[in-house]
Structure 1
Amino acid sequence: MADKQKTYDFPQDLREAQLELHQVQSALADLYKHLPWSVDPLPGWTHTKENGHFHETERAESRGWTDEEKAQVADLRARTLDLAERVVAHDFWSTCDDGPAARSALKHLHEQEEAAEEHQALGE
């Protein structure tokens, strides 16, 4: 029989900060996926084993990032830092007897809440 995971009474502001941190990190990851591989314009290349390279690699030319894209990344990174600081420095952690377990539970709280809402919507 599996042990029930300990639950924590996280303050609402901590829960909201963690959720927003997750959302901002996700938005930043999505943005990176759609940006060129180089911030600055650079030519592409093809490396082959015949040319003495251990692995064959290829990169298309990078147009670089626009000023708007650079600003978006900077804003999301600054917001990520601010939210991470709010979560890590929250007063709740000084009252917690097992900080690492509680931190892990907080990181996955949104997943548990989404699953509970899905089960409720399905009438389970």
Structure 2
Amino acid sequence: MADSPFPQDLVDAQLRLHQARAEYAALCRALPWSVEPADGWPGTKHPHTGETTGGREPSPGYTDEQKAEVGRLMALVRELTVTVSTHPHWATLDAGERMGARMALKGHRAAEAAPVADAAA
């Protein structure tokens, strides 16, 4: 990308990191609230309004496939985080410029990393 102050491999890694985080977030929204099967609990009835708040339905826990996918995405996010944060480009900048440059990279082409459609929707 000619108009970018960042090396293309760094931009690509940051974009993939945005995508991996979005995939992980979408997966987490679709998963049961507990990794292991767990009983739910009743909510609390408000004494003045009668509205019941809080509480949880029982959780079936994650399937083995869901556990594997969570692990895969977490490992990918960690790997990409290390790739981006240890890229040789950062050594070419003065120490005082690095934080601003890292923040600029996070926003660079971030819109292209649109979240994956929520599986629960």
Tell me the equivalent position of 1:107.
106
Aligned length: 105
Give the Å deviation of 1:56.
Answer: 3.9
Is there any run of 5+ residues in structure 2 with no aligned partner, and where? 47-51, 114-121
Q: 1:90 to 1:66 in 2, by over 3 A?
A: same
Q: Which runs of 4+ in 1 moved over 6 A?
A: none
Aligned counterparts of 2:43 and 2:105: Cα–Cα separation in 1? 45
* 1:87 aligned partner, one-letter code: V
Q: 1:108 to 1:26 in 2, by over 3 A?
A: same
Tell me the equivalent position of 2:61.
64
Tell me the equivalent position of 2:12.
16
Secondary structure of the residue aligned to 1:64 is coil
Is there any run of 5+ residues in structure 1 with no aligned partner, and where? 1-6, 115-124
Aligned counterparts of 2:61 and 2:12: Cα–Cα separation in 1? 35
Aligned counterparts of 2:64 and 2:31: Cα–Cα separation in 1? 12
Aligned counterparts of 2:42 and 2:23: Cα–Cα separation in 1? 31
So what's the TM-score if we normalise by structure 1? 0.77
Tell me the equivalent position of 2:87.
90
Which has the larger share of helix?
A: 1
RCO higher in structure (CA 8 A, sep ≥6)? 2
Q: Which structure's CA Rg is the greater one? A: 1
So what's the TM-score if we normalise by structure 2? 0.79
Native 8 Å contact 2:39 2:59 kept in 1: yes
